[in-house]
Amino acid sequence: LISSLTGPGHHHWSYQDILEWDKDYPECGGKAQSPIDVDTQHTVFDAQLRPIQLSGYNLSTAETLELENNKHTVVLKLPGTMKIIGGLPEIYQAAQLHFHWGSKSNPGSEHMVNGRRFPGEIHVVHYNSEYTSVEKAANHSGGLAVLAAFIEKGPDYNEGYEPLLSHLEAVKDGGQITEIPGFDISRLLPQRLDRYFRYNGSLTTPPCLQTVNWTIFNQTIRLSETQLDLLEDTLHHDHDQLLQENFRDPQKLNGRNVLSSFKAPVVGRKAAGEAPPSDSDDSSSLNPGTDAHGEDDPQLGTGDMLAIIFGILFAVTAVAFYVYVRKTRKRNHRSSDSKSNVIYKAATAEENVV
Ligand SMILES: *[C@@H]1O[C@H](CO)[C@@H](O)[C@H](O)[C@H]1NC(C)=O
Ligand SMILES: *[C@@H]1O[C@H](CO)[C@@H](O)[C@H](O)[C@H]1NC(C)=O
Ligand SMILES: [Zn+2]
């Protein structure tokens, strides 16, 4: 997760030798490791978990940021003026952000939800502002706070990702570094920063230090297929090999709690008491997958009740009208029959003419 934390020995690790990580980095075999598979049936609602509040995330284009391919991921260095000022017990300042992804055939998020892995995951790494550097903070409990969000494929081009994705090509080889202009980093995260899971864990790469306060957003980020392909298929590590599937599998909870900041299973457009999502994609991205629909139906909103009442009124009117039409027709039949009796001959004559 943090490439500069490789320790004094500076051992080399890779995603091919994950099971050996704890030989050089004993904490990787610890009891509070990350990532985890979040089982939403067993998360504990905690009303104290306030919305994540960001400050200084909208960077000026005058600022330059270092973007690096460190052979494990692409890392964007962030200025300490970017902070989390709400939703955590202390103030945390940003250090860097990076991504985990899979390949065309395999999704590559690190965290999972109910056994589901997502195509990708962003980690925005912060450190407790009590400490003078991310390296120092990383050695203390509660020293780090990482904001994590899942990346999925969506129908639309995600403009907020362009200031980053457009520079991937410049760092396609392992070890390459480039400078990019500042942009609004908050647009790399979901809109809803109030719905998240919280647990205590570790760095997901060596040295796997167990000092991370994790926040995993419930709303996902959506990239177009082209954008997702670019993330998956641009970077290389050594020897011209594509850098793909840079994720670690879920680790045992070992009795840890996973808290959730929200209670309602789904925030749909018609759910009562919640601010409506600002764009129509929101409710589906809150609950990815087609099974989302069954869950927002049980409660009927005012609109649904009115629709049902008007539906019944309409049906009653339609039946009454039908009955009326039939009665009228029968009556007309009878009267035209009697009429035809009267003018029987004339009518027949007329018919024959035709
Ligand atoms: C994380 O650990 C801290 C310190 O031990 C504790 O106060 C806090 O409740 C833990 N958080 C969770 C989500 O379990
Ligand atoms: C969001 O939360 C809902 C309700 O717990 C859950 O069904 C869904 O899988 C979650 N999705 C993510 C990406 O966390
Ligand atoms: Zn990471």
- Reported confidence tier of residue 72, pLDDT bands at 50, 70, 90: very high
> Is the pLDDT score of 317 beyond 90?
no
Residue 12 is predicted with a pLDDT of 86
Residue 239 is predicted with a pLDDT of 74
Question: For atom 1 of ligand 1, which residue has the closest CA?
Answer: 200
The verdict on the CB of residue 71 being under 6 Å from ligand 1 is no
Query: How many angstroms separate the CA atoms of 288 and 135, rounded?
Result: 36
> Is the pLDDT score of 133 beyond 60?
yes
Q: Which two tokens stand for residue 36?
A: 């985890």
Q: Compute φ and ψ for 98, nearest 5 degrees.
A: -155, 180
Query: How many angstroms separate the CA atoms of 350 and 244, rounded?
Result: 88
Question: For atom 1 of ligand 2, which residue has the closest CA?
Answer: 218
User: Given the CA of residue 216, which atom of ligand 2 is nearest to it?
Assistant: 14
Residues with CB in 5 Å of ion ligand 3 = 1, 123
Catalytic site positions: 72
Q: Compute φ and ψ for 206, nearest 5 degrees.
A: -50, 140
Q: How does DSSP assign 2-62, residue by residue?
A: -GGG-TTTT----TT-GGGHHHH-GGGGSSS-S--EE-GGG-EE-TT-PPPEEES-B--TT
pTM (2 d.p.): 0.77
> Is the pLDDT score of 290 beyond 90?
no
For the domain covering 2-297, report its CATH number: 3.10.200.10
CA distances from 224 to 3, 150, 230, 233, 317 (A): 29, 14, 10, 14, 49
Q: Compute φ and ψ for 184, nearest 5 degrees.
A: -80, 100
Query: How many angstroms separate the CA atoms of 145 and 258, rounded?
Result: 15
Q: Which ligand is nearest to the CA of 210?
A: 1
Q: Which residue ranges make up each domain of the chain?
A: 2-297, 305-352
Query: How many angstroms separate the CA atoms of 200 and 32, rounded?
Result: 7
Q: Which ligand is nearest to the CA of 109?
A: 3
Write out pLDDT tens, residues 223-244.
Answer: 999 999 999 999 999 878 999 9
Residue 322 is predicted with a pLDDT of 67
Residue with the larger pLDDT of the pair 306 and 130: 130
Residue 72 DSSP one-character state: S
Q: Break the chain down into helix, strand, coil percent, rounded to 5.
A: 30, 25, 45
Q: Which two tokens stand for residue 324?
A: 């009326």
